[in-house]
Amino acid sequence: MSVANVMKLVAENDIKFVDFRFTDTRGKEQHVTVPVSHFDEDKFTEGHAFDGSSIAGWKGIQASDMQLMPDASTAYIDPFFDEPTLVLTCDVVDPTDGKGYDRDPRSLAKRAEAYLKSSGLGDTAYFGPEPEFFIFDSVQWDATMGGSFVKINSEEAAWSSGEKFEGGNTGHRPGVKGGYFPVPPVDSLHDIRSAMVLTLEELGVPVEVHHHEVATAGQCEIGTKFATLVQRADWTQILKYVVTNTAHAYGKTATFMPKPMFGDNGSGMHVHQSVWKDGKNLFAGNGYAGLSDFALYYIGGIIKHARALNAITNPGTNSYKRLVPHYEAPVKLAYSAKNRSAAIRIPFVHSDKARRVEARFPDPIANPYLAFSALLMAGLDGVQNKIHPGEPATKDLYHLPPEEDALIPTVCSSLEQALEYLDKDREFLTRGGVFTDDWIDSYIVLKMEEVTKLRQTPHPVEFGLYYSC
């Protein structure tokens, strides 16, 4: 959509407000709204000023002036606001030099796309994430000096079979690990997901499938189409916005938290990816599972740098409650066709155009701009240095004999460990100025605050372990 088309959209739909949106380091969308009386074509060249010092992990108050530069191609009418509101996704620009701010995730992702082209290795990278999420009826938590707790309320949950509900307890619900994928009434969230899908398609995000996922208590997935790196990250942010707000409109609450409950599957975000040049898929070849050497080296790069990648693709302390060995989580740094126990899977496809690899360890609280860029940079390092990933895994990696299990490396076991690896293994990210050392340093500081907060907080499980010692 051009600037002229945006202005036409504003006029034809009696738009009252324009909402400028951008994504912070943690991956959360932020916004500022102006009445249409203060919006014209000049906004696309002059931008909208704001205070960058108020964004966690960004500039201090001594250098806080920033500009939001709206991207006309991202325009859509918000489906949730009462008043007609046009949404524009923005890049964050440093007004001192007019360049994309080095800590702005979307500007960083654009640098990753530019680096791919400048490297000569390819001209386009495609990404197809699969973020899973939960829909609960309500959730409560607290962590104070006087105690801590979390309580998930879900009529669909396996633990609700003995509860009393208004109108009666129907008894139809998925058991633990029983949500993949029975028809309603066991799947009680079909209509909500359909509403989400229709909204996504209205906003220009192509949807391919929706279904209940494995876990009880409302685990779901909406599969959307692959796209280029920045556009696919934009779509992921729209998907999260639509999912959480549609659930809210239905009186429920949705979360992309990787491991909100104990004893059942957590939510991942498998990321499909491929690199193209001159209209040709560089991942297609005559090697293992129809892959080229380029694709195998790309896998080798991801495996080599996986522990540093974890800090970005699995950026929460909660992420590592999902990535636990021997609990059907993709922790083993191996690759395989069809075998879903490996961290890197090669999906079965019928054509070379669809040839791709799937990284299975990322999770949906990852900032998509940062996660896709980091995966691309790791893969390209593998290609540049011909890092072969070794032999593919043919066995179920979840149930290996101890002596074989010890030979296969794993992802990190904690966010703190992942940040340590990121600090040591960062050079591949900084090529072409995609990620900067300043960004990495500030990111580690930001995330260590989360690590420290959890380390300082007593956990209810600890009372069971140690109270009577």
Active site residues: 51, 130, 132, 213, 221, 270, 340, 358, 360
Q: What angle do CA 33, 47, 85 make, to 5 degrees?
A: 30
Residue with tokens 């979390």: 150
Q: Cα separation of 209 and 132, whole Å? A: 13
- CA-nearest of 342, 346, 236, 368 to 298 is 346
- Largest distance between two CA atoms of the chain: 71
